[in-house]
Amino acid sequence: MDNLHGIRNFLHSCLRRQLSESDLSWLEQQQATISETLKDTLFFTTFSRLPQHVGKQDLLPTDIERQAAQQLRKGWVLDDWSVDQVARAWLLLGLPWEQDAERSHRWLQLSFTHGDVAELVALYQCLPLLPFPEHHVRRAAEGIRSNMTAVFNAVALANPYPAEYFDDVAWNQLVVKALFVGTPLHPIQGFDRRLNPQLSQMLTDYAHERWAAGRSVNPELWRGVALFATAEHQSDVQRLLTSANPLERDAGALVCMDSPEPTVRALLTPYPKQRQRIQSGQLSWATLYRSITFSDVASAAA
């Protein structure tokens, strides 16, 4: 709970930098009245209406704010946050979590139940900041089931929560669904740490299914396969290495370098330049990610 206060103070300092005095005091006043009266409708309507007062501009965090966020909560990435999201987080963290955890949970759940698109995004972004993180696992998994890509992304991308709390079943669904909806894999936190043989198999099957349908595959997929590649993956990797698409050729080379399987590693031998690009840092999963145009992958996946 100490951290809760630290995070809340930090959010408040971000708001102070961004908001006029009158907008900030409106928000503070609302919060004070909510704490005093504990009127649920006041909380919900304040949560909904606050963009009209605080605006929806991007937060554009300073370097100091970025570092402070990481120190307060490992993996907390502020870069894509907007001011209304900061205000919503501040309001949520201001629920009486210590004095009345039951009410706080109830209000949080109801906020999810009737949330609009932007509210759901803000709520899911806040999961790693909330107290009792282990209580939100089912909710987070529900977010992964969302049909609204923006909501899915709020759980899956730039969010430390899933890697820390999901079991393998939920985690593997997250990764495969990211591919399915055309969202990039690189911003998924803890990706390498949570790799597992079952996921590797699911990704391989998914790639085969896409290929059989004559559809493209996000080449980042192979990052999830490399570590658990077997001799049976030789033909897949060979196909990548000789693909007409340079991004697939790069993915193939990266798989060879990452893989502990000798028969797969050996496939890179005819491509010394690729090996050199990887060793010099010119090519990595990160550079590959930056080279992909995800709108193309998305429309291919739709």
Using CB under 8 A as the criterion, which residues of the chain lie in contact with other proteins when the complex forms? 41, 44-45, 48-49, 51-52, 56-58, 80, 82, 84-85, 113-121, 147-151, 153-154, 157-158, 181-184, 187, 294-295, 298-299, 302
Report, in Å, the least distance between residue 108 CB and other proteins. Answer: 15
CB atoms within 10 A of CB 216: 16
- How far apart are CB 290 and other proteins at their closest, in Å? 10
146, 174 in Cβ contact below 8 A? Answer: no
Least separation in angstroms between residue 133's CB and other proteins is 22
For the chain, helix (H) and strand (E) counts, in that order, are 19, 0
Q: Hey, how many other C-beta atoms are within 10 angstroms of the C-beta on 270?
A: 9
**DSSP H/E element including 37:** helix 21-37
Of the pair 116, 134, the CB lying nearest other proteins is at: 116
> Which is nearer to other proteins, 112 or 271 (by Cβ)?
112
The distance of closest approach from Cβ of residue 201 to other proteins in the complex, given in angstroms and rounded to an integer, is: 26
Q: Any alpha helices (H) in 73-220, and if so which ranges?
A: 83-93, 101-113, 117-125, 137-144, 149-156, 161-165, 168-180, 197-212
Q: Among 158, 182, 155, 180, which Cα is nearest to 166's?
A: 155
Name the residue nearer to other proteins (CB basis): 101 or 158.
158
Closest distance of CB 267 from other proteins, Å: 32
> Are the C-beta atoms of 220 and 292 separated by less than 8 Å?
yes
Nearer to other proteins, 150 or 169 (CB): 150
CA 41 to chain centre: 30
The token pair at 48 is: 């909904």
Which residues face 82 on adjacent strands? 58
- Minimum distance between the CB of residue 293 and other proteins, rounded to whole angstroms? 9
In whole angstroms, the minimum distance from the beta carbon of 155 to other proteins comes to 11
Rounded to 5°, angle at Cα 138 from 134 and 142: 140
The residue (of 141 and 229) whose beta carbon lies closer to other proteins is: 141
CB of 94 or CB of 115, closer to other proteins: 115
Query: Measured from the CB atom, is 58 or 98 closer to other proteins?
Result: 58
Secondary structure class of 91 (helix, strand, coil): helix
